[in-house]
Structure 1
Amino acid sequence: MPLPRVPHLRLPAGALLAVACLAGPVCAPADASPADTSSAHTASTGADRDHTLHKQLDQLVHAPDGPPGVIAVLQRGDESRIVRAGVADLDSGRPVEPTDHMRIASTAKAFSGAVALRLVDRGALGLDDTIGRRLPELPKAWHAVSLRQLLQHTSGLPDYSRSPEFGRIITADPHHRFDSRRLLDFVAGEPLLFRPGSRYQYSNSDNIAVALMAEAVTGRRYEQLLRRIVDRPLGLHRTSLPQGFEMPEPYMHGYDVQPSAAPEDVSELIGASGVWASGGIVSTPKDMTRFIRGYASGALISPSTLHEQRRWIDGASEPAGPGKNKVGAAIFRYATRCGVVLGHTGNTPGYTQLIAATPDGSRSLTFSLTTQVNQASKPQLLKKLREVEENFVCALLRD
């Protein structure tokens, strides 16, 4: 159901609440050794594959409701390939770069998972710890919900971002500064949607509660925990969790794209305070590559915690990722025709994201679009996007 119109923008509820390209073919190394070109046949085959991949991105860019820009970073060991189409900024026409900032949308949920699982490893938190034990100030009706259920989206918590009052506030003032630690107040009077653990339902409330649990057991702010136990160990130098709406330079401009109108820049439409641990992080393709390789492989946690992270149940990310989706603890399993990768997706006004890596972290893919694509707003484009993402996974896994 569409929200009331913000001036000059049509903002579907799924788009706003998921809180929720001029350049020719490019294939360049990013902080990595060049591809092996010792054989003319190998070089020719590689060039053909890159041309095919770029053609698919170009088709996305030229779709009537497609993104002005798209960039994919494929990394195998120390070797990276960048495939991109379109532009980062329609005004300047400059190409998208792997060091451009972007809103990472719900892939930020994997970061809150990383924080929580590191605290589990340290014994500060337990996967069976409940809201009642760690956050007793939250509604009593929610007290039986466990950390594991929050991370797997089987909690039954009502989604605060679908609250009519939240929608009214953000529609009237998209730059409204929320108290991020009180976002669950919007649904505090509501019961659980179902018995905890009985089924899967994606909810932005889950990762807000995860962050609050992390703060409760450490006495530190979530932003500080992110920097200390995730960003620094993985070498993420351009990743932040802001409160405001401004984007750091340089950045990929995100656009609202409708077939009947010119693309409208929505990069700074909404502030991050209203999505916080559920989708407020700003990062770059380069940093996201580092993150997903470390997170998917278990580089931050012990083998026993990694085993718990990979207890798969049926459930798709939002938007759905390539292939058949299953969900673990703040990570999804994407079983494609060419093999399995682990990761997360996300969408928010102006941006759509996929981050994925092989279970050992040796190969990874980040895939970023500069418009929002989801089942509610652009089902046909999402279908095409998932096909292209699967083709890129196949290119990543191909020997």
Structure 2
Amino acid sequence: MRRAPARRLATALLALSTLAPLALAAPQAQAAPPAAAVSTADPYADDCPHGFDPELTARLDKAIAQAQQEANVPGVTVGLWFPGRGSYIRSTGVADTATDAPMKPYLNMRIGSETKTFTATAVLELVDEGLVKLDDPISAYLDGVPDGDHITIREMAEMRSGLFSYSADPGFVQAFLSDPTRPFTPQELLGYAFRNPNVFPPGTQFQYSNTNYILLGLLVEKLGRMPLADFIQQHVTGPSHLGRTFLPQGAEFPKPHAHGYTNQTLTGEIADTTHWNPSWGWAAGAMISDLHDLHHWAKDVATGTLLSPATQAEREKFIPVPGFDGAGYGLGLFNTHGWIGHNGSLPGYESVTMYLPEEDATMVILINTDILHDGFEPSTIIAKAITSVITPDHIYELPAEG
């Protein structure tokens, strides 16, 4: 049974299962448009130097088209890179349902919880610099955190702090959906979280909570002595040569970009979320990127290019997650059946960026809706369809929302 939009927002925004957004008419189910190869005018065409063999390409085209139609996704961009086997980039469908402008591989996209991979990397760089230890209590750095004397940096990064997620607070949900263009400060977000009791004693359970990453963002600002956006640019995206990936201050969204569509509204009607303000996600989910940058980030974050081997080893201590067969969560990173990375969802947009060490392979998926299909995130449906074809022994799979 589908949840009411406001309740879904309260319980699942930026959740691991999304891992895990005026009013417009809902897109009607229709046959997905045929996949189109990257144009030679595509500025990122060099990301696809040689394609898969024709038979595999045809199977992927079919699987993506079927998944796109099943999940009723307006626009999809997929990038696959398998050294020794080939590569594949496709954009299908529309980036704007009002104009039928086509989806393109080079469009800017909001990436939701993939932001956590950047925030966690920033924290782990501070660990490598000796400015913080993973098992230090957060109270040593930030005041006012409920039970902060017993909650460690590690427990926040791996979602075992027990802190209530502000995005599950009814007051936050009402404030956000009443005016999705309004800004939120980190302190306002923590106010929604801290007026609720902690969910469990730290370290005893797993629960995905955006509150953890708001606090980690503030920790980076304090120890890094600069705004989080600047620290990420100077110490994470800059060294990784990600020129189109950044944390916005507010609702800015550089062109060209895709429009996003959600039903997470007070009325349940479909809304265009392109200019909604993602500041409510901040260090947990507000960043913008594109296919080219995420292609390169996938391997950097999964292999620890920016970190010491010892710190990356701590990051990859994946803890089993109840209800997620074959999946585990580390420090701003998860593993599902061998694929390592993260996904993201916020109203109107979803993404998946994963790396498969066994084949030195990368998968990036970007779509412009977060509307569930039979309880499943549309990005999960597409990722499962793709990996069922390309890596049948390593299928990307996350459960439906409860």
Bin of the TM-score, shorter chain as denominator length:
0.7 to 0.9
Cα distance, 1:152 vs structure 2? 0.6
Q: Is the 8 A contact 2:79 2:291 kept in 1?
A: yes
Supply the distance in 2 between the matched residues of 1:208 and 1:57 (Cα, whole angstroms): 35
Q: Return the match for 1:85 from 89, 92, 96.
A: 92
1:326 aligned residue = 328
Q: 1:343 to 1:170 in 2, by over 3 A?
A: same
Supply the distance in 2 between the matched residues of 1:116 and 1:363 (Cα, whole angstroms): 26
Which deviations, in whole Å up to 9, do the C-alpha atoms of 1:39-76 show, x marking residues without a partner? xxxx7xx112111111122123323x521111111123
Supply the distance in 1 between the matched residues of 2:120 and 2:60 (Cα, whole angstroms): 31
Q: What percent of counterpart residues are identical?
A: 27
1:39 aligned residue = none
Q: Return the match for 1:18 from 11, 14, 19.
A: 14
Q: 1:15 to 1:194 in 2, by over 3 A?
A: closer
Cα distance, 1:106 vs structure 2? 0.8
User: Which amino acid counterpart does residue 247 of structure 1 have in structure 2?
Assistant: F
Q: Return the match for 1:59 from 51, 61, 66.
A: 66
What number of residue pairs does the alignment pair up? 370
- Give the match's secondary structure for 2:134: coil
User: Which amino acid counterpart does residue 388 of structure 1 have in structure 2?
Assistant: A
> Which is further off, 12-21 or 360-369?
12-21
Which deviations, in whole Å up to 9, do the C-alpha atoms of 1:220-266 show, x marking residues without a partner? 111111101111011111112113224221112212379xx996422
> What are structure 1's unaligned runs of at least 5 residues?
5-10, 37-42
Which deviations, in whole Å up to 9, do the C-alpha atoms of 1:86-132 show, x marking residues without a partner? 12222333332222111101111111111111111111221112111
> What are structure 2's unaligned runs of at least 5 residues?
19-30, 39-43, 396-402
Q: Does 1:156 align with 2:162?
A: yes
Cα distance, 1:304 vs structure 2? 0.5
Cα distance, 1:300 vs structure 2? 0.7
Supply the distance in 2 between the matched residues of 1:238 and 1:380 (Cα, whole angstroms): 26
- Give the match's secondary structure for 1:346: strand
1:146 aligned residue = 152
Which deviations, in whole Å up to 9, do the C-alpha atoms of 1:319-365 show, x marking residues without a partner? x7xx7211111100111xxxx22011121111121110123893211
1:202 aligned residue = 208
Q: Is the 8 A contact 1:141 1:191 kept in 2?
A: no
Supply the distance in 2 between the matched residues of 1:277 and 1:393 (Cα, whole angstroms): 33
Q: Does 1:225 align with 2:247?
A: no
Q: 1:120 to 1:154 in 2, by over 3 A?
A: same
Matching of residues 217-256 of structure 1 within 5 Å: 217-256=223-262
Cα distance, 1:16 vs structure 2? 8.0
- Give the match's secondary structure for 1:117: helix
Q: 1:129 to 1:373 in 2, by over 3 A?
A: farther
Q: Is the 8 A contact 1:74 1:396 kept in 2?
A: no
Root-mean-square deviation (CA, aligned residues, Å) is 3.1
Q: Is the 8 A contact 1:294 1:361 kept in 2?
A: no
1:35 aligned residue = 50
Matching of residues 109-188 of structure 1 within 5 Å: 109-135=116-142, 137-188=143-194
